[in-house]
Amino acid sequence: MFQKILIANRGEIALRVLRACKELGIQTVVVHSTADSDAMHVRLADESVCIGPPPSRESYLNIHQIVAACEITGADAVHPGYGFLSENAKFADILAAHNITFIGPSGDHIRIMGDKIEAKRTAKRLGIPVVPGSDGAINDDKEAKRVAAEIGYPVIIKASAGGGGRGMKVARTEADLEIALQTAKSEAGAAFGDDAVYIEKFLEKPRHIEVQVFGDGAGRGVHFGERDCSLQRRHQKVWEEANSPALNAEERSRIGGICATAIADLGYSGAGTIEFLYENGEFYFIEMNTRLQVEHPVTEAITGIDLVHEQIRVASGGGLSVRQEDIKFNGHAIECRINAEDPRTFMPSPGTITHFHTPGGLGIRVDSGVYSGYRIPPYYDSLIGKLIVHGRNRVECMMRLRRALDEFVVDGIKTTLPLFRDLVGNPDIANGDYDIHWLEKYLAKGE
């Protein structure tokens, strides 16, 4: 097992990882920018190293500084959290070259999944169902028209290097195709420095369902069930649940089994998430994230397994603590992402939190790095906390969520809490009857 882990992140996830390290008896080092000197994870860590000024590229994305912090403190492993360097293959390679363990998959696996065309090709080869579309990059209008006619309109053009929902264009008819192809290409080139694009069938009303997988790096793979993350705004997840209200136990074990086998065949090591669009009973692979996800706590709630412990065990060569048959799904869990944003316009609302009171009681978990008197720096994303609620079934979970939201107090800044208080009372949400467009439509109506 590791002696000392350096946590290369900030906010709630840095604290989340720190807690897991403490429970495993591992020393902790955190790195932070000058804007985060008074952050909770800095206060609670055994050691902390200031690695630069507020802008991320000079601190949390500064590989040299982070490697230097490892050398100075003698850390033998790095947990990257999510975002920042968590899916940076070069970072994984550089750590390996310094004999520091990256708590995550190999640089090569990160690289494959970071290139969407390559990821889709790999998924298909491993027997994962994919969205019908072009086999690789599309080079000209003629090829685009041929592929689109084959799969049928509407189609979506996506950037191979894409991320965060950028560089995607929908073409409803052949007349739209040329212009969609051109704009997708130029947007991709400008945003990612790589203008490779591909085409796939556009699904009209899918749900977003993702499978949590783990590989032990020695040819074994397991799945921890799925999460339904269909409630999104601008491709950003807002509310996540496990299990998905749309799946039954057979569907869960079928898609889970396919993913676990794929992970085993790939020789993958650590946590991963295989994301699908789900429509009319069919799964369509869209991408794989090679890291811990923001929404992992809903999976922990229904399985009772600490996924960060598992990540650390696997990275240290200790293997997974569970076999597939040990993983049971109990009850239902929902996570609400609480952002420091205006709940109507979603404009960021940094500032000082004058009062912070979190709900408690059975089945309630709050992951947050903020506290009363904390000043939210304006440089980073607006997530200030996650409320995760567990119940024996979805109805109990929703009732508990409603009362937890009533107890939650954040004063001094605007937050998205009022949005969740509205959602929890909505009949479609109560019925689990929503797709990836539901939230945008609901917000557009301004109810």
- Nearer CB in complex with ligand ADP: 113/334: 113
Active site residue 234: no
Contact 399, 348 (CB under 8 A): no
208 vs 291, which CB is nearer to ligand ADP?
A: 208
Tokens (6 digits) for 358: 């979190």
Q: How far is the CB of 173 from ligand ADP (least distance, A)?
A: 16
CA-based angle 260:264:265, to the nearest 5? 115
Residues that bind ligand ADP (CB under 6 A): 131, 156, 162-166, 168, 200-203, 206, 208, 235, 275, 277, 286-287, 436
Total residues belonging to the chain: 447
Q: CB of residue 422 vs ligand ADP: minimum separation in angstroms?
A: 22
Query: Which CB sits closer to ligand ADP, 81 or 162?
Result: 162
Nearer to ligand ADP, 231 or 286 (CB): 286
Angle at 303 between CA 210 and CA 299, to 5 degrees: 30
What minimum distance in Å lies between the beta carbon of 155 and ligand ADP? 8
Nearer to ligand ADP, 24 or 126 (CB): 126
Question: Least distance in Å: CB of 278 to ligand ADP?
Answer: 11
Which residue's CB is nearer to ligand ADP, number 159 or number 397? 159
- Please tell me which residue in 291, 337, 394, 400 is annotated as part of the active site: 291
Return d(Cα 357, Cα 347) in angstroms, integer.
23
| 228 vs 310 by CB, closer to ligand ADP | 228
Angle at CA of residue 62, ends 366 and 386, nearest 5°: 10
Instruction: Give me the least distance between CB of 128 and ligand ADP, in Å please.
Output: 14
CB of 335 to ligand ADP, least distance (A): 17
Cβ burial, residue 239 (10 Å; 0-12/13-18/19+):
buried
CB 298 within 8 A of CB 342: no
Smallest distance from ligand ADP to CB 239, Å: 14
Give the active site residues: 291
